[in-house]
Chain A
Amino acid sequence: MQRIFLFLYRIRAFLLFVLLEAIAISLIVSNNSQQGSAFFNSSNEWVGSVFKTQSNVIDYFSLSSVNISLMEKNAKLLTELESLRRPADSVYIPLDSSLISSIQFKGAKVINNSLRLAQNHLTINKGSNQGIKTGMGVINEQGVVGRVKTVSRNFSTIISLLHTDLLVSSKIQSNDVFGSTKWDGLDPQQAKLMYVPRHVVVAIGDHVVTSGYNSIFPEGIAIGTVIEVKPGTDTNYLDITLKLDTDFSKISYVYLVESFQQQELDSLYQTTGISNE
């Protein structure tokens, strides 16, 4: 018995190594699920507050570009508003109040961002106290940004569109053919549009937008523009490359999409056994 203990004592460094390595690997595995533990990532309160302090300093350098993008978005919205304004002699009849406000947007500031790894994340300065929930879609004025992964009280972590596991349900705007956008891990300005069958005619320059099928994103949010179409090597699908509309190197403010129908849709999909990505 004593010799066993002596032996164990002699390899104590190795045992500690195995123990710590096992902890690390179990954390890697548990983090790979879409909803990881909320403590061990950048939405943790301490980490979040460090990022917040850092971004308080750095923000001033990006103020002018933020102002320009806000102004552009404002101009676009004003044009849209003008076309929606009712002339003085029209009659307005509300059809169904349940259809009117199924989506709400919340603004947040990005305090941490990465784009060079194979699995990139962002951190924003709002959390469950401000009504952010796991799974909400994230967009900015240019296009799709990602999806909320974990939420703490004052911060949340977002899976960036530049994450090799994230699929965004999307469609080609001109012919309504739908597919899934997925990043291939190579260039932070390009992504792939998958599952578009070979018989579909896709032109270079076609716009790709969100399909709105799974109510994470509203329909018609910009994703990218087709820049290359090739027949896929061994599948039945085309190999389509997109240039992403969102410039991930310059994200400073984002909008979170809260859909009031999402819960209903999800439970409907669950009871019928459909998974929609």
Chain B
Amino acid sequence: MNSIRVISILFTGFLYLLFQVLVLKNLVLFGTAFCFLYVSYIILLPLDLKTIPALLISFFIGMGVDLFYDTLGIHTASLLVIAFVRHRWLQVLVPTGGYEDDLQPSLMNMGLGWFLSYSVPLILIHHTIFFYIESLGTDLFFTSLQKVIASVIFVLVMSIIVQLLLYRRRRGI
């Protein structure tokens, strides 16, 4: 992992953060579907990134989003969970022949089926934790459930669109 890659990873994170708090913060479809696209940044971190740097990155991204959403700590807490689980989950889903080292686990690199089975549970975990901490102390169980499901679908669609538009396919050797 050379310094150019590290810088490009951090810069991408910064772009995701800016896009999230300036544009997507005001975008809520039908009052239930939130677009937490920054989750897809953590999901798309390179395969060889270990858990510790992933945790640190997600802590700072989460704090940044929290500052702007006034949801102190909630985004951070839920993002840390998927950063911690991510590496293990990748080990479970290892395809025959193993991973290429510095690949991004994106739609084009890994195929639609693999990408969905990798990202849907992670996004679901994040959103469930987020919306249930956020509505803690109220009896909004079904409202939160509705928000979780609608947001997971929305984020997934947005994430796929962003990948198709902006991510490049890595040619295999």
Interfacial residues, chain A to chain B (CB-CB below 8 A):
12-14, 16-17, 20-21, 23-28, 30-31, 36, 40-42, 44, 47, 50-51, 54, 112, 114, 116-119, 121, 123, 157, 164-165, 184-186, 188
Contact = CB atoms under 8 A, between A and B. Distances in A.
Nearest to A164: B138
B135 A121 contact: no
Contact of B68 (A26, A42, A118): A42
Contact of B80 (A17, A47, A184, A186): A17
Nearest to A22: B77
Contact of B72 (A13, A28, A118): A28
Contact of B28 (A12, A112, A116): A116
B14 interface: no
8 contacts: A16-B56, A20-B55, A20-B76, A25-B77, A40-B72, A54-B22, A117-B71, A185-B143
Q: Which of A14, A50, A118, A164 has the most CB of B within 10 A?
A: A118
Contacts of A51: 68
A116 B130 CA distance: 14
A118 B73 contact: no
A121 B52 contact: no
B68 A47 contact: yes
A265 B34 CA distance: 42
B137 interface: yes
Interface of B: 21-22, 25, 28, 31-32, 34, 50-52, 55-56, 59, 62-63, 66-74, 76-77, 80-81, 83-84, 133-135, 137-138, 140, 143-144
A16 B52 contact: yes
A47 B143 contact: no
Given A13-B52, A20-B59, A28-B77, A118 B67 contact: no
Contacts of A165: 137
Contacts of B71: 117, 119
Contacts of A30: 72
A149 to B, nearest CB: 9
A118 B140 contact: yes
B28 A24 contact: no
A2 to B, nearest CB: 22
A90 B78 CA distance: 68
Nearest to B28: A116
B82 to A, nearest CB: 11
A24 B67 contact: no
Contacts of A188: 31
Contact of A27 (B28, B56, B72, B84): B72
B72 A31 contact: yes
